[in-house]
Amino acid sequence: MMKFSQRITIKLFSKEKLFQKQQLKNLEKLSEYLDWSLYQLKFQDEYSPSQVSIWLKGNIQCLTIPFSRGDLQSRLQVERLLKLGLRHFFLFLDHSEQLNSVILSDLSLGNYQEELESKKITKYNNKTKCNSIFALARSKVTKLKFIKCKLDGNFATHCPKVYPSIKTLIFDQCYFLDNASYGQFKNLIDLRIIDTNVYRKPNEKENKIFNICTSKGVTSQILENLILNGLDIQGTQPIKQSLKVLKVDISIGKCFEKDSQNIWKLISQIQTCKLRDHHTKFKFSMIKYILKSTDDNTVDLPPINLEISYLQVTKKSMELIDKPIENTLKTLAERNGLIINKYEEIIATDHRYVIHVKLKEVEKRSLILIIHNKIIFS
């Protein structure tokens, strides 16, 4: 009996243009074998479709553009693939029942270019068929990951239209534009934003060519836009959102530059919530604000995880100077309306403190504070 891998990952890494044609030839030959093999498996007992992942790194435009957008540029690149003779690749894409994951790496993803209505193709031919194959393949994808990508222009607005079935969305070492708009991923369950920065374009007075980094980690506004996608948070009714997992590098210091109660109310409704901020110097008053801003109906959810590098505490009274760190922290937390009900100091490859914190007088969702670097006494 023929057996086949349950997961197939196809990786294409950009090289010099001289070698890209050979890469595409290899892809065509691989697609021919895979398409034949998967077709034969359909007639086996206990057949289970193989999950297919495609990973595109760098500027192989004839593939990265159709896999990242559904506009005029995409249609032009599909036409180019046809001219290059990738017939079996289109057949493989069409016959794959479980194309569930796409990874796009080292790309600058900019504005969409839609055709005028008068110039759109209305007749059905081989080109429109292959564009339909790409559109159908993208509609099956449930996991989308961006690595070292620059998200520019209106890309973030249109991306959910290109990938309407996304359940897991990952941004790894990407750059977000500070004033971008975001479309709605209606089926999103898992959102992860790792080592990602926010930038803005220089204004005329700055006389600079390169974009300017404004934040290490996403801001509360960007995170709110990604999660909300136009939903109203101002009402008294709980928000019906699909998101269940949130793991994000966030610039919490930036959150306190404006009223940030909305974002903490929103975050607290997510069941698995892990935040990381290695740049802000935290105080117990900030932790109290975060916990007070959580939603009243989330007290039974697991604690929010907040991983930081710095906790700044002030010893106002002489009696705290010679006390152990645990006792000092508990006393200072209580003075800020907090209770530390569990404390651990872990000395391993890195020295860290793990502190379980909750509000003193109000029953709300609790928080696990993980301090990786040091506690600053002043």
Percent of the chain's residues with pLDDT above 90:
39
Residues 202/214, Cβ–Cβ less than 8 Å: no
Residue 318 binned pLDDT confidence (cut-offs 50, 70, 90): very low
In whole angstroms, how far apart are CA 307 and each of 91, 145, 236, 274, 352?
47, 23, 30, 8, 10
What local confidence, expressed as pLDDT, does residue 158 receive? 87
Q: How is residue 200 written in tokens?
A: 């803005």
34, pLDDT greater than 80? yes
* CA dihedral of residues 303, 327, 282, 224 (deg, nearest 10): 10
Q: Please write the tens of the pLDDT for every residue from 163-174.
A: 999 999 999 999
Q: Please write the tens of the pLDDT for every residue from 58-71.
A: 878 899 999 998 88
144, pLDDT greater than 50? yes
* CA dihedral of residues 214, 171, 190, 188 (deg, nearest 10): 90
Q: Please write the tens of the pLDDT for every residue from 105-142.
A: 999 888 777 654 444 555 668 888 999 999 999 999 99
CA pair distance 81, 75, nearest whole angstrom: 10
What local confidence, expressed as pLDDT, does residue 216 receive? 86
**Stated length of the chain:** 378
Residues 370/306, Cβ–Cβ less than 8 Å: yes
CA pair distance 282, 302, nearest whole angstrom: 22
CA pair distance 31, 302, nearest whole angstrom: 45
Tally the C-alpha atoms within 13 A of residue 65's C-alpha that lie toward its C-beta: 20
More confident residue, 228 or 290: 290
Residue 377 binned pLDDT confidence (cut-offs 50, 70, 90): low
What local confidence, expressed as pLDDT, does residue 248 receive? 95
308, pLDDT greater than 60? yes
The three-class DSSP label of residue 243 is coil
Residue 254 binned pLDDT confidence (cut-offs 50, 70, 90): low
Residues 59/14, Cβ–Cβ less than 8 Å: yes
Domain limits, the chain: 283-378
Instruction: Give the residue-averaged pLDDT of 290-296.
Output: 91
Q: Please write the tens of the pLDDT for every residue from 55-103.
A: 999 878 899 999 998 888 888 899 999 999 999 999 999 888 778 999 9
Amino acid in position 267? I
Instruction: Give the residue-averaged pLDDT of 196-215.
Output: 76
